[in-house]
Amino acid sequence: MSKIKIIAIPPGFAPQEIREQWVGIEIPLSKNPIPHGEESFRSGSENGDGYQVLATEAIVALRNAGKNDAANFWKNLAGGTLVFKKDLCELVN
């Protein structure tokens, strides 16, 4: 399964210290992406046509990396998916 690795701080509404915690996190790409819209809005419109991941898998990846503040922040805010700008990610196999 392909994954993305976040290599730079993504834009968005979350506080800087929360967004910084995404750097270095690897998240599986969604096999069956949910169409962009309300379900993926929470990651911020600045991420537009980026890579789409399931919010639950992103939160697990944060927890597994010991980034509990960020995981707790997104736990109650994330919709079905999160979207990360392509130029801030690397594809990982």
Its pTM stands at: 0.82
- CA separation for the pair 15, 11 (Å, rounded): 10
Residue 78: which pLDDT band, with cuts at 50, 70 and 90? low
Residue predicted with more confidence, 33 or 64:
64
Pick the closest to residue 23 from 85, 93, 72, 76 (CA basis): 85
- CA separation for the pair 93, 80 (Å, rounded): 23
1-40 pLDDT, tens digit each: 699 999 999 998 899 999 999 999 999 998 765 555 544 4
- Return the H-helix or E-strand segment holding 21: none
* Residue 91, pLDDT above cutoff 90: yes
Q: To the nearest whole percent, how much of the chain has pLDDT over 70?
A: 78
* Residue 50, pLDDT above cutoff 90: no
